[in-house]
A and B are shown apart, each in its own frame.
Chain A
Amino acid sequence: MRPFSYAAPATLAEAVTALAESGPGTKILAGGTTLYDLMKLDIEAPPAVVDIHRLAEIAAVDTTRPGEFSFGAGARMADVADDPVVRRDFPALAESLAKAASQQLRNMATVGGNLLQRTRCGYFRGGPVFPCNKREPGSGCSALGGLDRGHALFGGGDACVATYPGDWAIALLAFDAVVDVIGPRGARTVAIADLHVEPGDTPQREHTLAGDELIVRIRVPVTPSGRGSTYHKIRDRESYAFALVSVAAGVAFDDRGVVEDCRIALGGVATRPWRAPAAERVMIGERLTEATARRAGEVAFAGARPGTGNAFKIELGVRAVADALRIAGERAVR
């Protein structure tokens, strides 16, 4: 690991100042489960680290205000996953955290840092022996024509097909969450939908935050479709694995039992969190049946562009969408 300077500001204001005064390449350290891991692999090599993991100001979870849940960026994944109000009123959010990582990692990792975790592409993590445009721009992409079983069906291109690995951002995207950000140029709010970017020609750029900007909280509108929701995650093993395919789904019915709101977002299959609006529209105005749910799944995966070893995720994904809608529908208030 390369040497780095370490600062642990005591307040949010001090953290903003430290980031403003820091040089290029400075990284924000929170739970450390991604950044420190990649520093050990020499894939991240920041000259300076600003540690925010114990800033109490940004760790509060508030589920008491009407219409909106607020999660401080420094809250631990385990605490939000176990929050009884979140579990009851917004199961997709709680499940997306509970089905990620292990309890040890969930006790460390923050819900803000989680959003910016980096891909698990083996070529990216494997180091300089493998060309990787994300790690070394211009060097090529080993996954194109390589072992791409885990790689993206959506949002990839000639430069990169690495999958966004997270779960929490998928659930947040389905329910129109926003993140509040602070930096030397002031505060701003970014929709989750605008936080992550497709690789395009610059796969090293994964999100729209500046290096000196810090996520302070995540806010999610509370909706009936949040109550009738699930995070359905398909993995190679039943626990403690990244998603082959995951689906955040939410459903709300009108008093005739017809779907009036539907949310579908996909994980494990795209270069960024992936919303499926056309599939949502399939369900609106329909009854939730095996047939309509299956059709929504087919529409969600209609634009999939598989590589050599990941086409199996299309049928798997279609069925995962259908199953997620069924689970969500069973939870919805009728």
Chain B
Amino acid sequence: MTAIVRGSGGNPANAADEDVCLALGSMGSSESTISSAVRTETTFTVNGRSVRVELDPRESLLDVLRERLGLTGTKKGCDHGQCGACTVHLDGRRIVSCLTPAVQVNGQAVTTIEGVADPDGTLHPLQEAFIDNDALQCGYCTPGQVMSGLACIAEGHAGSDDEIREYLSGNLCRCGAYAGILAAVRETARRPNSPSSEG
């Protein structure tokens, strides 16, 4: 069964196991503006759930996640690929969703911060480590930091403090919680089941 969600009100989290189809969503642009462009049907998964959206090719993945799918955990900072707040995983690799035209992710799997904790609400160990290490103040960059930190560990780029700093340099934190972020990623990378702890 397919749930038809119009506009911005639909939240896939409320749609049980149904696919979500968004027809003619209109957040962020007026209908008259976007009607001049040909819409492209795009299908992808978000946190394991299949999504089908009719897209204006101008729409960024970030805007589609936030404004049309209601997944506002992914944050818009600079909107130009410079701050990392919008980091998500695409087929398991971290990218910035602000510089990704959503039409490009057709057939691919997107993971956002909403897909990181267990469905029962148990936080991921990296999220727990962020809390334990005071790795945030205002919290705005945190979803991007967590997504980037998870990828950094999975890539095997969390072998030393210098390496972690280098591979997290794409995520800015204007509160300056870097010391805590570094500690959280280091601690999580060294857990027994983490990719970086192997060998």
Contacts and interface: CB of A to CB of B under 8 A. Distances in A.
Contact of A5 (B38, B80, B99, B167): B38
A33 B99 contact: yes
Contacts, number: 86
Interface in A19-33: 29, 32-33
B157 interface: yes
Interface residues of A, number: 29
Interface size on B, as a range, is 35 or more
Contacts of A4: 37, 57-58
Contact of A103 (B60, B80, B167): B167
Interface stretch (A67-75, A104-112, A248-256): A104-112
B40 interface: yes
Nearest to A30: B104
Contacts of A39: 58
Given A36-B101, A108-B99, A103 B157 contact: yes
Contacts of A54: 104
A6 interface: yes
Contacts of B100: 32, 36, 108
B152 interface: yes
Contacts of A105: 81, 96, 99, 170
Interface string A31-42: 011001101110
Contacts of B36: 3
A29 B103 CA distance: 12
Nearest to B152: A103
B103 A107 contact: no
B94 interface: yes
A72 to B, nearest CB: 17
Nearest to A51: B104
A49 interface: yes
A104 B57 contact: no
A1 B79 CA distance: 13
A1 B56 CA distance: 11
A239 B175 CA distance: 19
Contact of A40 (B79, B87, B94): B79
B190 interface: no
Contact of B80 (A1, A6, A37, A239): A37
Pick the most buried of A5, A36, A41, A104: most chain B CB atoms within 10 A of its CB. Answer: A104
A6 B38 contact: yes
Given A5-B38, A101-B170, A107 B94 contact: yes
Interface in A201-244: 238-240
B22 interface: no
Given A6-B38, A29-B101, A104 B155 contact: no
Given A102-B169, A240-B169, A37 B57 contact: no
Interface string A113-131: 0000000000000000000
Contacts of A104: 81, 84, 87, 94-96, 148, 170
B6 interface: no
Given A103-B152, A104-B170, A1 B58 contact: yes
Interface string B82-119: 00100100100111100111011010000000000000
Contacts of A6: 38, 40, 57, 101, 103
A8 interface: yes
A90 to B, nearest CB: 20
B148 A103 contact: yes
Nearest to B93: A107
Interface of B: 34, 36-38, 40, 56-58, 60, 79-81, 84, 87, 90, 93-96, 99-101, 103-104, 106, 148, 151-152, 155, 157, 165-167, 169-171
Given A4-B58, A5-B57, A36-B101, 19 more contacts: A3-B34, A3-B58, A6-B38, A6-B103, A8-B103, A8-B104, A32-B101, A37-B80, A40-B79, A41-B80, A51-B101, A51-B103, A102-B84, A107-B90, A108-B96, A108-B100, A238-B169, A239-B166, A240-B169
14 contacts: A3-B58, A4-B57, A8-B106, A29-B101, A29-B104, A33-B99, A51-B103, A51-B104, A54-B104, A102-B170, A103-B157, A104-B81, A238-B169, A239-B165
